[in-house]
Amino acid sequence: MKIIQNPHEIQKDLITLKKAGKKIGLIPTMGNLHRGHLSLFKLAQTHCDVLVGSIFVNPMQFGANEDLDKYPRTLNDDIKKLESINVDYLFTPTNDIIYPLGTNVNTSIEVNRLTERLCGETRPEHFRGVATVVNILFNILRPDVVVFGKKDYQQYMILNAMVKDLFMPIEIIAGEIIREENGLAMSSRNKFLSIEEKQKAAELRKTILATAAQIESGKRNYGSLQQEAIQRLQNKGFKVDYFEICNALDLEKATDTDSQILIACAAWMGQPRLLDNLEVEL
């Protein structure tokens, strides 16, 4: 695996490969890689000739009171994991490379839909930071195909919208959620859970599945179902950010006529904020 920090150097390599007819795949990450990340790399390998990973902890997507400084940085371990699955390139830029004028001065990207609900309600600047850094990475690395995980379903939808709106010649593929043995969606933040908290955190998935079962049985009072789920999670020790039943296509509140439903939840168990979701076809 070739590890490059200089954007011009890696861009030159990848342009040469594209001119030779090679299809470039990309997995953008913030590092601290786990089995969920590696599943995205393996999926991308089936769709490309040359696979690139990037590791950059993006300050622009963290709020003032969030965990930027505490976010795990495990580059040496990450390199070993990527080498073990034969990733071809790893791009490891610094803050000065990505934001040479600082995050408040550099050009930023706004996606004007899908961003205001769910995570966007309590993290109003988050998706601007995500869209901006991903756009920068796309312009440097010029991938043909990119895989994003469905654990961050809203993020996947927003970045897919950005690609379509800006006519980027990139195929976006969604990777399925990879889970711990107890059903908890894999996340770099799971390591902040104590053993007891990790056991309790399994209730997040159970509550989503229970809500899905009620919807599939014919219940359509979505507001009531949401409140029941929130109460259940609070009783188990969660601090709930949101538990929403949405239209899976636009993330707006679900109606009786919607056939593609997304149950989405964000909740704190102790220190980490956990995300999970489930698509339901009616």
Q: Which residues are known to be catalytic?
A: 37
Q: What is the distance, to the nearest Å, from the Cα of residue 257 to the centroid of all Cα atoms in its chain?
A: 28
Measured CA to CA, the distance from residue 132 to residue 154 in angstroms comes to 16
Measured CA to CA, the distance from residue 221 to residue 203 in angstroms comes to 22
Other Cβ atoms within 10 Å of 221 Cβ, number: 12
Give the three-state DSSP class for 13: helix
Give the pair of three-digit tokens for residue 133: 């850094």
- List the beta bridge partners of residue 26: 52, 146
- Name the nearest CA neighbour of 243 among 191, 149, 234, 161: 234
Strands annotated E in the chain = 2-4, 24-29, 50-55, 89-91, 145-149, 171-175, 239-247, 260-268, 273-281
Q: Give the CA distances from residue 138 to residues 76, 163, 218, in Å, rounded to whole numbers and listed in that order.
A: 24, 10, 43
The answer to whether the CB of 111 falls within 8 A of the CB of 161 is yes
- Name the nearest CA neighbour of 55 among 87, 35, 28: 28
How many degrees, rounded to 5, is the angle at CA 30 between CA 26 and CA 36?
70
What does residue 71 show for φ and ψ, rounded to 5 degrees? Answer: -60, 130
Give the three-state DSSP class for 125: coil
Other Cβ atoms within 10 Å of 161 Cβ, number: 17
Give the three-state DSSP class for 193: coil
